[in-house]
Structure 1
Amino acid sequence: MFSQFFKNRDYIFWAYFGWILVIILCLAECFFDTLSNHLNQAFANYIQGALNPTDNTYKPTRQDFIIYLWGLLWVELIGVALTNSGREFIGQHIAFKWRMALNDCYISKWPILKDIEGVSQRIQEDCRDFASKVELLAVDLIYKIVKAFTFYRLILIYGKMISYIPFFGSNSHSLLFASIFAEGLCYIPLIISGRKLPKIEYDNQVVEAAYRKELVLSEDDHFTTVNMITISTLFSKVRSNSLLMYRHLMYVDAAFKFTNTSSRYISVIILIPPLLRKELDFGSFKAADSVINNMLWILSSIREKWPILIELASIHKRLKGLDHYIEINNKNSHYLDEIDNNNNKVLINIEYKNM
């Protein structure tokens, strides 16, 4: 699945240079994200100075707000929007080229694969879904790794402003450790609820393929009682597998909604004590809240993509089955060729001796 794309000379540009371009666009987008965070901190301080003017606070002018809006226009609408749409555009092309590589590989082995149940669906849908989902996860992972390095420096800066966080002490990494611990707790219900789902989805696809094939065969042959019994039996299996899959999907959805809702309040719970101790002004609070939420968003990559990962695991298992089937047939074919060659050598030797 990977060698068909990355080791194929026809797709070497997209397999390597395409990903380099994606990384460059991710770096550019993270640069604009950092500028946006600084702009939001300045804007929050302007709001605080305008609503509660004191001798110690800066009193913003109309020109300050105009500069902020102009900077926001360039950073958010032009910088972030263009880099984000650019990396999505390149990523979609990479995914389709990957699908082409997989399609070419499996179509070239069609005489071997044509007898497998549901092979046409696997080549058409599974190759498409595998390439698009791997591309989606890979681009998202690259962007979040780059963003993690960018925001790591910021979360240390705001961590130094806070004197103490319960259970995590008073060091500059306390905000980072608190974010990692809170996000780690959110993975526990997801792992427990979704551990059986990939196998259930795989079994469901196998039964669906057998049911579809029986229906197609029944169109051409004379429909008999035997066909009816077979179709009813297969649909009964489809029904039981579907009900089992729906139940486990409910567990995953419930765990996902619970963890998603809980993560919204993590930054506020962490930052309210130092805010009450007056260690942060309003601008620093908003900026620290934004940085923590960005770190939580980075750490929640696997959790947010959990349904996609489960589906991808099932697709990978099906395509791995095709690769394994091709490998076995190639070995058997090589073994038969060796037998034929040995038989030919024996026949040639016998004919030579009889001459």
Structure 2
Amino acid sequence: MFRSFFPDPKLFFFSAIIWTVIAIGIWFGFVETYQPFLDTLAGYAQQAVEGERPPFLTADKLLIYIYMALAGFGFAVVWMFLDKNTWSRWSVLGSTIIILVTYYNVQLSVFLNDWYGGFNDLLQKALSEKNSVTLEEFYSQLMTVAPILLVNITVLVLLDFFVSHYVFRWRTAMNNYFMDHWPKLRHIEGAAQRVQEDTQRFARIVEGLGVAFVRSMMTLIAFLPLLYTLSQNITEIPFIGKVDGSMVYVAIMSALLGTALLAIVGIKLPGLEFNNQKVEAAYRKELVYGEDRADRAQPATVKELYEGVRKNYYRLYFNYLYFNVARFGYLNVSSFIPLVALAPTVVSGTITLGIFAQINNAFDKVEESFKFFANVWTTIIDLMSIYKRLISFESIIYQDEETATDEAPQNA
């Protein structure tokens, strides 16, 4: 799955994590030491462009974007030079583009969070006192968000288009890899299903799950400091009192408890999904043989195979029953956690509606990122079952390669 598309997958992903940590460390270390220098650069950049620019394209933001682009594409160029994989342009360069564009899109979300704060303060003013806000002021405030929405829609459409092509290239790489080793794989039960259906499903799930995961991580990076700063407005948390960055800790605890709960109650599901595909493949294979041979797919045989399908589905439904009790219970209850945590502050009247909206929205973003696995656990279960089938399928190739390597010196 990964070897067919990425250059030396283990080393590639490990180096990507290390490089990300180093790049972040360099940036924050540089900012802390040379902030006056950066401010001067930002001032020159601001003077170089006449007129007002959107908050997400201010000079200081542009410096961050340029640094991110240099760090990302620098890493990609090095890997494309070191290991010229057939699919490097898509796997290395394409991954870099997806991550950078996703980061930029998350920055738009940060701006929207700030905008909602000002808009809700205006809304509170208009609702609390008659004729305190004119219709022109209200519409004018609404129009300030139009450019960001236009850019956001454009970026999302183009990113979705690019990711679709990226994932299909990944599926093509897997397909070509399996076809190159088809003589070793064709005797395995359900081999055709693995190559055609499982690679297609793997690509489809990765398309949604992979991009959502990257976005969650980028959202966490962008909104975590923001939520920590906004938490200074919180007077106290029930049963705990006042704690710096209190809403950050509430989000972390909520997400960790929910994810751990779903991991425990859903521990059997990946194995059941894996078995489900095995019994389905055996049933399908017998029916296919029955299309060409009169002695195959006899009623007794088909009934026995279908009975295996039925039993596995019933076990699956039963396990999903108590899993969904935990999943839907957690997801519904967690939506009220910020209201409970903010209750003392709201009742004391120490924050405005705009600040409340900013805190609530930032909390939702952070908590959604932390509980990413909880939200998509059923999809992860499906992906894990596909992964188990494909990895067992690939193991035949690796076994033959290891056998050939072990026997080479003896033959020589």
- Shorter-chain TM-score: which interval? 0.7 to 0.9
| Higher mean displacement: 259-268 or 105-114 | 259-268
**Residue aligning to 2:375:** 304
Among 124, 127, 137, the alignment partner of 1:51 is 127
The DSSP-based 3-state class of the residue aligned with 1:211 is helix
Q: Report the CA distance between 1:218 and its aligned residue.
A: 2.5
Q: Report the CA distance between 1:103 and its aligned residue.
A: 0.2
**Residue aligning to 1:71:** 144
Task: In structure 1, give the amino acid aligned to 2:352.
Answer: D
2-structure distance, mates of 1:323, 1:274: 57
Q: Report the CA distance between 1:184 and its aligned residue.
A: 2.1
1:228-243 superposed matches below 5 A: 228-243=299-314
Contact 1:168–1:174 (8 Å) recurs in 2: no
Q: Report the CA distance between 1:113 and its aligned residue.
A: 0.9
- CA offsets 1:216-275 (integer angstroms, 9 cap, x no match): 223322337x94433222111111111111111222223221122112211211112101
Contact 2:178–2:195 (8 Å) recurs in 1: yes
Q: Report the CA distance between 1:163 and its aligned residue.
A: 2.0
Task: In structure 2, give the amino acid aligned to 1:39.
Answer: W
Q: 1:337 to 1:291 in 2, by over 3 A?
A: closer
Task: In structure 1, give the amino acid aligned to 2:144.
Answer: G
Task: In structure 2, give the amino acid aligned to 1:276.
Answer: V
Task: In structure 2, give the amino acid aligned to 1:317.
Answer: K
Q: Report the CA distance between 1:134 and its aligned residue.
A: 2.5
1:52-131 superposed matches below 5 A: 52-53=128-129, 59-76=132-149, 78-131=150-203
1-structure distance, mates of 2:371, 2:205: 17
Q: How many residues align?
A: 336
Q: Report the CA distance between 1:199 and its aligned residue.
A: 0.7
Contact 1:25–1:86 (8 Å) recurs in 2: no
2-structure distance, mates of 1:159, 1:332: 60
Q: Report the CA distance between 1:128 and its aligned residue.
A: 1.5
1-structure distance, mates of 2:123, 2:339: 20
Contact 2:174–2:199 (8 Å) recurs in 1: yes
1-structure distance, mates of 2:132, 2:247: 30
Percentage of pairs with the same residue: 28
| Residue 206 (structure 1) aligned with residue 281 (structure 2) | no
1-structure distance, mates of 2:180, 2:171: 14
Q: TM-score, normalised by structure 1?
A: 0.88
Q: 1:51 to 1:125 in 2, by over 3 A?
A: same
Q: Report the CA distance between 1:324 and its aligned residue.
A: 0.8
1-structure distance, mates of 2:342, 2:406: 68
Q: Report the CA distance between 1:176 and its aligned residue.
A: 0.5
**Residue aligning to 1:222:** 294
**Residue aligning to 2:110:** 34
Q: Report the CA distance between 1:189 and its aligned residue.
A: 3.3
**Residue aligning to 1:10:** 86
Q: Report the CA distance between 1:159 and its aligned residue.
A: 0.9
Task: In structure 2, give the amino acid aligned to 1:257.
Answer: F
Contact 1:168–1:178 (8 Å) recurs in 2: no
Contact 2:5–2:173 (8 Å) recurs in 1: yes
- CA offsets 1:142-192 (integer angstroms, 9 cap, x no match): 212221121122212221111211344423211100111122222243122
1-structure distance, mates of 2:406, 2:219: 52
Q: Report the CA distance between 1:336 and its aligned residue.
A: 6.9
| Residue 21 (structure 1) aligned with residue 97 (structure 2) | yes
Unaligned runs of 5+ residues in structure 1 are 343-355
Q: 1:86 to 1:41 in 2, by over 3 A?
A: same
Q: Report the CA distance between 1:41 and its aligned residue.
A: 1.1
Contact 2:238–2:344 (8 Å) recurs in 1: no
Task: In structure 1, give the amino acid aligned to 2:301.
Answer: T
| Higher mean displacement: 330-339 or 282-291 | 330-339
**Residue aligning to 1:347:** none
Among 299, 308, 319, the alignment partner of 1:248 is 319
Task: In structure 2, give the amino acid aligned to 1:73.
Answer: A
Contact 2:205–2:383 (8 Å) recurs in 1: yes
1-structure distance, mates of 2:285, 2:409: 36
| Residue 266 (structure 1) aligned with residue 337 (structure 2) | yes
Task: In structure 2, give the amino acid aligned to 1:6.
Answer: F
2-structure distance, mates of 1:336, 1:275: 74
Unaligned runs of 5+ residues in structure 2 are 8-83
Larger CA Rg, structure 1 vs 2: 1
| Higher mean displacement: 187-196 or 314-323 | 187-196
Task: In structure 2, give the amino acid aligned to 1:292.
Answer: F
1:146-157 superposed matches below 5 A: 146-157=218-229
2-structure distance, mates of 1:292, 1:331: 51
**Residue aligning to 1:315:** 386
Q: TM-score, normalised by structure 2?
A: 0.76
The DSSP-based 3-state class of the residue aligned with 2:5 is helix
